[in-house]
Amino acid sequence: MYIDPTYIILIPALILAFYAQWKVNSTYNKFSDVRNSRGLTGAEVARRILDANGLYDIKIAHINGNLTDNFNPSTKVISLSDSTYNSDSVAAVGVAAHECGHAIQYATGYFPLFIRSAIVPITGIGSSLGVIILMVGLLFSSYTLALIGVILFSATAVFQAVTLPVEFNASSRALKTLESEFILEGDEIPMARKVLSAAALTYVAALVSSLSQVVRLLLLAGSTKRRK
């Protein structure tokens, strides 16, 4: 039975991805048991941060799930999950503040955020179409077609690369606001930082995974030359 040796390239990325997921879950669970000294829930913190930045038009909604929190700029809604909305834990406060960081980015015209939004459609089309073109290139031993497929698929890695500064900046804004608005105090700030740092690691893992996949596909594309 044939085993594709290029899959070996993905092993370090897979290990990092598993570690990142374990890290974010364990860190969040640890600090989800620590109540913030002011007793504010994630929803209350989000409202306070938004109002402090003049973002009165941004709404806060409750959605089902765990760590499914997000900000939708088109609807101007921050959606907080079950584990965040009514929770007064330090972890919940950190997550809520992070989503507010995205809302502030949007309001202040943070450029990388708009780049990420602009390339979302390209990423979806490029990754799907890229794989098809790559397979056709491999089938007909066409290096040119295979390479075009890899280039199109690389849009995923570009998206992940742009996502990193967006997420890091949102976390930085969140931590600064939590401290300047006296929402968290003392050792609560380092706790929130650990939660957000663990979450950021998942984006690093996603980028490493995308880059590893691109390298693997380049090797597959190069195999069409060797077959000729």
Catalytic residues, by residue number, are 99
CA dist 165 and 154 (Å) reads 18
Q: Residue 228: exposed, middle, or buried by beta-carbon count in 10 A (0-12, 13-18, 19+)?
A: exposed
CA dist 23 and 30 (Å) reads 10
Instruction: Spell 150-173 as b/e; 16+ CB within 10 A means b.
Output: bbbbbbbbbbbbbbbbbbbbbbeb
Give the amino acid at 211: L
Instruction: Spell 28-60 as b/e; 16+ CB within 10 A means b.
Output: bebbbebebeeebbbbbbbbbbbeebebeebeb
Q: Tell me the two tokens of residue 117.
A: 């939004």
| C-alpha angle 145-116-211 in degrees, rounded to nearest 5 | 45
Comparing CA positions, the residue from 134, 124, 127, 128 lying closest to residue 153 is 127
Q: Are 173 and 104 in contact (CB under 8 A)?
A: yes
